């Protein structure tokens, strides 16, 4: 397997991967607007993706693996600002440590959120401070793992007689599924050479 792409190559591959008004902060589509930061932390062996495990008591997506992010609030100047605000609130990542490289296509969740995924490059050193009310754990997954399509599994479950299919990635002891896995698969497809 080849080395994962660096910052400049990532920026080049992300060009044109989202609607032109996305970076301008449009929230005109249906659904509850939300935004996440797909944070790529630089390492000598290649970047890693920053992920969180949500606390068990949360109303939405309790205990699930996610990116830092959440709803676009009225005070936010669009989805990008919301992603940066949420990253600061949830994991203590200041926006001046994030270089925005681009974004991924919008993702609509089954729970009615319209998620704007922003991809950002982060140079160490970074000291994260978790909000224990929202985040149980933060961990990193190598971008090379995400880019390997062999790690993307399509699974189906039947709940109350309804079939539900979704992407799943298993990394270490973590089961990453739902919107987070779909965004990771989208990232892998956009970054494919």
ω into 26 cis (within 30 of 0): no
For the chain, domain boundaries: 7-14+31-147
The pTM is what?
0.89
DSSP secondary structure of 30-95: SSEEEEEEEEEE--TT--EEEEEEE-TT-SSSTT-EE-SEEEPPTTSSSHHHHHHHHHHHHH---G
**What is the full per-residue pLDDT of the chain (193 aa) written as tens digits?**
567 788 999 999 998 776 655 444 444 456 789 999 999 999 999 999 999 998 765 555 445 899 999 999 999 999 999 999 999 999 999 999 999 999 999 998 888 889 999 999 999 999 999 988 889 899 999 999 999 999 999 998 887 888 888 999 999 999 999 999 999 999 999 998 7
CATH number of 7-14+31-147: 3.90.79.10
């Amino acid at each position: 397997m080849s080395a994962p792409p660096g910052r400049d190559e990532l920026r080049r591959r992300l060009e044109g991967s989202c609607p032109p008004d996305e970076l301008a902060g449009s929230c005109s589509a249906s659904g509850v607007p939300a935004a996440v930061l797909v944070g790529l932390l630089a390492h000598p062996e290649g970047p890693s993706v920053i992920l969180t495990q949500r606390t068990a008591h949360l109303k939405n997506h309790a205990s699930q693996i996610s990116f830092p992010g959440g709803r676009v609030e009225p005070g936010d100047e669009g989805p990008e600002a919301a992603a940066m605000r949420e990253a600061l609130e949830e994991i203590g990542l200041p926006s001046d440590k994030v270089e925005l490289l681009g974004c991924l296509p919008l993702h609509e969740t089954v729970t009615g959120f319209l998620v704007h995924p922003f991809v950002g490059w982060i140079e160490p050193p970074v000291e994260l401070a978790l909000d224990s009310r929202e985040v149980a754990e933060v961990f990193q997954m190598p971008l090379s793992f995400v880019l390997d399509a062999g790690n993307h599994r399509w699974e189906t479950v039947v709940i109350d007689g309804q079939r539900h299919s979704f992407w799943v990635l298993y990394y270490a002891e973590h089961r990453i599924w739902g919107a987070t896995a779909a965004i990771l698969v989208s990232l892998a497809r956009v970054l494919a050479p």
